[in-house]
Chain A
Amino acid sequence: MNITSAKYTKDDFNNKNIKATINGEEMFVPIDAEGNRHWEEIQKWVADGNTIDSAD
């Protein structure tokens, strides 16, 4: 899985999703979603030293 960007999206009252480009495709990945493979890969991506950008 090739993650090239990740940014929090702000909805309602808190950050609920991450707008990410994965394998060249824009996706909206839920946060703290156990078993969601994109969320799990983003966690590894962050552990590798990458940063999820803050929401606008």
Chain B
Amino acid sequence: MSNARKLADKLPADGQLGNRNILINGAHQISQRHGSSSVTVAAGDHYVVDRFKIQDYSDATFSSQQVTDAPEGFRNSSKITVTGTDTSLGTTQYQRFIQPIEGLNVSHLNYGWSFAQTTTLSFHVKSSLTGTFSVFVFNSAANRSFISTYTISAANTWEKKIITISGDQGGTWLKDTGVGMYLGWSLGTGTNFQTSTLNAWDGSFKMAGSNQVNLAGTNGATWQVAGCQLEVGSQASPFEHESFSVTLAKSQRYYAKFYYGSTASNAGYSNSYGSYFPTPVPMRVTPTASVDTTFAQYPGASQITPTINTNGMSADPGWQTYVRPYHVGVNSSTYLEGTLVTDAEF
């Protein structure tokens, strides 16, 4: 094969040449919440790595973890392990692995219009179970959905899957700071959310094909995913690796854990002092804040638990976000330090 042919085969046929991956943290590298620790998953939402979460709405329990077992060309994957079974899902029960995508990041797909763009999802998957699994896309109102299936042929073996998703010309798709699109992988879905209509848009909420494997039906079963890329066009180009710092900054728009160190200056209510400090990047919306580690004040190194203000400064996307820990009894010129968490997840 000529070099020109090799090059042509790797070039995307549509969309821009750079910054192609609509998914954030597709390499599963950034894990601000748990690092590489295993986390118990019971009912509810649990982020595994940044931007990817498992949602468990069944009677099963799982553990989730960022691991270094990954296909060639990658360092990390997200791993889900069944720790407690649900062998018979109720009609509305499900488990899924999902990334909500901000409307501002998918507005160029022109969903809801006649010129909606086709996209292609590529990913690597590995499971202890073989059989048919599903991927899904749905809108924020959960009244438009697209289901496609993929087959895991060999147990405990990395396989690459490619799925083309036609653009949805109907429905309402947010193009602001709300959820523009949910993209995810079913790990088991009750019959109410199953469909036999595959690779086409449906005016209802579905998450899986009718022959979807129920991962939760087998104790100890595992499912792993890596190298996730969603891009414009009907062709999967090679995974677009980006620097760690770029992916971290993209992730921090939704969740940030960072060191705060500042001299208290602004007087507040009842002689409380603190100082505004910018979050690492402007956040999606004005965030919720919490203290990750107890704060220390200097001189003296005494421990305090501050109260915190957050301030988005403006509703306009992209404006800087500030956080202001303060504490009664802290004097101006006192130095405060600790680790904060700011959360602007969907």
Q: Which A residues contact B (CB, under 8 angstroms)?
A: 9-12, 16-17, 19, 25-30, 33-39
Contact = CB atoms under 8 A, between A and B. Distances in A.
Interface string B264-275: 001011101000
A40 B346 CA distance: 11
Contacts of B307: 9, 11, 17, 19, 28
B27 interface: no
A42 to B, nearest CB: 10
Interface of A is mostly: strand
Contacts, number: 63
25 contacts: A10-B269, A10-B270, A11-B268, A11-B269, A11-B326, A12-B268, A16-B309, A17-B307, A17-B308, A25-B290, A26-B290, A26-B291, A27-B290, A28-B288, A28-B307, A28-B308, A29-B288, A30-B286, A30-B309, A30-B311, A34-B315, A36-B285, A36-B287, A37-B345, A37-B346
A31 to B, nearest CB: 9
A26 to B, nearest CB: 6
B310 A30 contact: yes
List of 9 A-B pairs having minimum Cβ-Cβ separation, nearest first: A35-B285, A33-B286, A28-B308, A30-B286, A38-B288, A28-B289, A10-B269, A27-B290, A29-B288
A16 to B, nearest CB: 5
B267 to A, nearest CB: 8
B258 to A, nearest CB: 15
B284 interface: yes
B239 to A, nearest CB: 31
A34 B289 CA distance: 15
B344 interface: yes
Nearest to A23: B44
A55 B178 CA distance: 31
Contacts of A10: 269-270
Contacts of A11: 268-269, 272, 307, 309, 324, 326
A33 B309 contact: no
Given A17-B308, A35-B177, A27 B284 contact: no
Contacts of B178: 35
B180 interface: no
A37 B45 CA distance: 13
A56 B345 CA distance: 30
Nearest to A26: B290
B326 A35 contact: no
Contacts of B312: 30, 33
Nearest to B307: A9
Given A11-B326, A19-B307, A36 B268 contact: no
